[in-house]
């Protein structure tokens, strides 16, 4: 198994010359190229994983220095066990131990293929737990394993912890609804299915974030309507970017704004 230096998604050998995920229009191959790396090489170079306290029951996990896209994974802890969401493209024994110290892990899942990381490797190190992959995105899976389980629509991990397929960024793009988060007001973990913006007062709906390719207004409204059925007050994105409160209103208003801009309602401002 090797990982792509640009996106850090694992792939079985023999690997292609270029990473299929990075050559897709939603991502890119860096100007200085893309290489295939072994986890052992990263460990030798001093790669580390770091825990981040987000709120009670929610820990972030990031690589230092960043590997690939550099997402912050989320470990959601419930009385029944944990979910590892958007797993990084690197792991080490210390972090595996730190995760297991916080209770059994029920599953690994990613919001979309850019966030697959080394999901199968995490599964194996955590005891062969299920890797949940959206059926609509299975063509992007670079490493097959008996732990991989395909799902669509919704998937319940534990009481109050559910995956919801939103589509948009990828057909299988998903979010996690954690009912107990934000002191019981509810949390969404969205990856970049819905992206919390730097102003912390709006979110984005994009087919490609690095290449600035928007989704249609109709899709943004569809996603917002689907999420409006859930109870949540806070959002965490895939870089630990946060909408700290009133997140449901933020999603609703952001989708309406996105739809208005893409339909030409604000062309007079340009």
Question: Residue range 12-32: average pLDDT?
Answer: 97
Query: What domain range is 28 assigned to?
Result: 2-269
Burial class (CB in 10 A: 0-12, 13-18, 19+), 267: exposed
- Provide the terminal-to-terminal Cα distance of the chain, rounded to the nearest Å: 49
Could you tell me the pLDDT band of residue 177, with boundaries at 50, 70 and 90? very high
pLDDT above 90 for 212? yes
Number of domains in the chain: 1
**Mean pLDDT computed over every residue of the chain:** 97
d(CA 265, CA 270): 11
Query: Model-level pTM?
Result: 0.97
**Do 203 and 195 contact (CB within 8 A), yes or no?**
yes
Q: Which two tokens stand for residue 62?
A: 């990031």
pLDDT at 45: 87
Residue, of 201 and 44, whose pLDDT is higher: 201
**pLDDT > 90 fraction of the chain, expressed in percent and rounded:** 98
Is the pLDDT assigned to residue 235 strictly greater than 90? Answer: yes
Q: Give the model confidence (pLDDT) of 107-163 as tens digits.
A: 999 999 999 999 999 999 999 999 999 999 999 999 999 999 999 999 999 999 999
11: domain CATH number is: 3.60.15.10
């Amino acid at each position: 198994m090797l990982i792509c230096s640009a996106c850090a998604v694992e792939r079985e050998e023999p690997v292609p010359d270029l990473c299929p995920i990075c050559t897709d229009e939603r991502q890119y191959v860096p100007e200085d190229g893309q290489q295939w790396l072994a986890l052992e090489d990263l460990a030798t170079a001093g790669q580390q994983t770091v825990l981040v306290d987000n709120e009670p029951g929610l820990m972030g996990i990031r690589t230092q220095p960043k590997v690939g896209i550099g997402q912050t994974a989320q470990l959601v802890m419930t009385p029944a066990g944990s979910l590892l969401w958007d797993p990084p493209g690197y792991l080490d024994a210390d972090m595996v131990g730190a995760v297991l110290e916080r209770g059994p892990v029920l599953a690994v899942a990613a919001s979309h293929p850019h966030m697959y990381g080394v999901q199968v490797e995490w599964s194996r190190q955590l005891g062969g737990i299920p890797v949940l992959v959206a059926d609509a995105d299975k063509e992007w899976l670079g490493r097959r394993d008996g732990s991989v389980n395909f799902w669509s629509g919704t998937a319940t991990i534990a009481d109050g912890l559910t995956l919801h397929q939103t589509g948009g960024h990828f057909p299988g793009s998903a979010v996690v609804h954690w009912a107990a988060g934000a002191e019981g007001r509810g949390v969404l973990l969205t990856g970049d299915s819905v992206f919390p913006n730097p102003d912390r007062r709006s979110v984005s709906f994009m087919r490609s974030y690095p290449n600035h390719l928007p989704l249609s207004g109709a899709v943004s409204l569809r996603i917002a309507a689907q999420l409006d059925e859930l109870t949540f007050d806070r959002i965490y994105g895939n870089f630990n970017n946060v909408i700290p409160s009133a997140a449901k209103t933020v999603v609703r208003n952001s989708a309406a704004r996105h739809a208005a801009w893409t339909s030409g309602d604000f062309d007079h401002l340009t």
